[in-house]
Amino acid sequence: MKVVIIGGGAGGLSTASNIRKYDKQAEITVITMDENIAYSPCAIPYVLCGEVECFDDIIMHQPEDYLDRDITVITQAEVYEVRSSENKIKYHSNDEVEHELPYDFLVIATGGVPFIPPVVGTKLEGVFTILTIQDGFEIKKWAENSKRAVVVGAGLIGLEMAYGLKKMGLKVTVTEMQTQIVPRSLDPNMAQIVQEYLEEEGIEVILGKAIEKIIGEETVEGAVFGEEPVNAELLIMATGVRPETKLAKIAGCEMGQWAILVNEKMRTSVPNIYAVGDCVEVLDAITGHTTQSPLGSAAVRQAKIAAKNITGIDAEFRPVLNAMVSKIGDLEFGAVGLTKAAATRNDLEVVFGQKRALTKARYYPGAKRIDVKMICNLKGRIIGCQIIAKEKVAERVDTMALAIAKEVTCFELANMEFSYAPPLSMVIDPIILAAENACEKLKQVTGG
């Protein structure tokens, strides 16, 4: 069995490794345009802020490492043709030579491309997008000779990069078109807590203003947001990523609303072509609508499902909860399921429980403030949760992911048995306190 995988990111390489796990004989080839593979793009901001020492640290494998597992990795090569009727692809290698490669199964893991708003000046030197480790490397080099930076877009990567640049000593402004930061994952009142932390750390935040233009001759000198000018020698466009679907279209794969359409086996409309990662669309577990889940963790889970199905093991990818977490400085924030705002947009009637509590017994030195917001439908079923604290957020998000996946209600959760020790938790966990608050709100609403 010959498997060709296009893309050397988390989705592509995990598919390769998993196929090898289930099939010792398969001929597996991974083709990527990138020079590096098997690195963690999510970690780029942490190199900037100095928590991770250098970019080399976040590269986990070299292409030749995969030879040990009998996986061929071809870097700096671009696939330009997929002939699905003939089961073969064509690519240019590094040296411009054209090659042809037959396949029994093709996996499209082409990821995404940064979306750049249509304004003047995006080609100026000092304007960056952030996708590959090379981008990270170049941003860092440019930042070393800059004093002021502006990051356009206050999503996760935007905020993480902003903090990294601030730690490098730059004066940093983050701008966001919407009227709050992290609009996809946090409700306004929770986003406010993160924003206050950023401001305490000296990062300026401008909300509700779209970028109008970028100013500069050869290199960037600033940008205008609404009518507000911001000076900067470095500008990062963290304005989102669009799925890279070009090859899938060439191959004749059907597109969905947002990206490549796949079924629960991660198979495209072309029977022996699979697709995984940021280039596919998935189902939202709560709304049932198609959505994008551009997270490394989603790509890795999809890769496992694709690999199983390719090797004849039945497996299905479940609709997503969009569990996410981030760490900026010493603040952690995470979310799973729908925000209240997203629920409302989807015409779901909801209540929310909210609680500010502590991460340890209240007399315990080092106990940190923790904020939990829990969204429930009118039957009490939990459909979303947002958590912010200076520790212990990620695992609580995971607990809530499980709660949402298992359709737990706030009534059940309020009576759940959790562990307790004074140095590690409160005797009643903040999650449970938020669930109790949701129960009370629900009784008020339903009069029950």
Active-site residue set:
42
Determine if 388 is a binding residue for its own copies (CB under 8 A): no
> Quick one: which segment of 61-69, 198-206, 268-276, 312-320 binds its own copies (CB under 8 A)?
312-320
**H/E run at residue 45:** helix 44-48
Instruction: Classify residue 423 as exposed, middle or buried by CB count within 10 Å of its CB (0-12, 13-18, 19+).
Output: exposed
Task: Measure CA of the first residue to CA of the last residue in the chain; give whole Å.
Answer: 61
Q: How far is CA 301 from the centre of its chain?
A: 13
x/- letters, 55..94, toward its own copies (CB under 8 A):
--xx-x----------------------------------
Determine if 24 is a binding residue for its own copies (CB under 8 A): no
- Which of positions 428-447 make contact with its own copies (CB under 8 A)? 428-429, 431
Strand partners, 332: 327, 389
Please count the other Cβ atoms lying within 10 Å of the Cβ belonging to residue 112.
19
Which C-beta is closer to its own copies: that of 7 or that of 216? 7
Instruction: Classify residue 237 as exposed, middle or buried by CB count within 10 Å of its CB (0-12, 13-18, 19+).
Output: buried
Determine if 207 is a binding residue for its own copies (CB under 8 A): no
CB-CB contact of 32 with 132 (8 Å): no
Determine if 210 is a binding residue for its own copies (CB under 8 A): no
Binding residue for its own copies, selected from 94, 415, 444, 446, defined by CB under 8 A:
415
Binding residue for its own copies, selected from 423, 444, 445, 446, defined by CB under 8 A:
423
Determine if 19 is a binding residue for its own copies (CB under 8 A): no
d(CA 374, CA 390): 19
Strand order in the sheet with 331-337: 324-328, 331-337, 382-389, 369-377, 350-358
Q: How far is the CB of 123 from its own copies (least distance, A)?
A: 31
Q: 3-class DSSP state for residue 133?
A: helix
Binding residue for its own copies, selected from 224, 246, 361, 368, defined by CB under 8 A:
361
Residue of 30, 51, 29, 27 lying closest to 40 (CA atoms): 51
Q: How far is the CB of 18 from its own copies (least distance, A)?
A: 11
Determine if 358 is a binding residue for its own copies (CB under 8 A): no
Binding residue for its own copies, selected from 402, 444, 445, 446, defined by CB under 8 A:
402
Binding site for its own copies (CB under 8 A): 10, 40, 42-43, 46, 51-53, 57-58, 60, 295-298, 300-301, 315, 318, 320-321, 323-327, 332, 334, 336, 361-365, 392-399, 401-403, 405-406, 408, 415-425, 427-429, 431
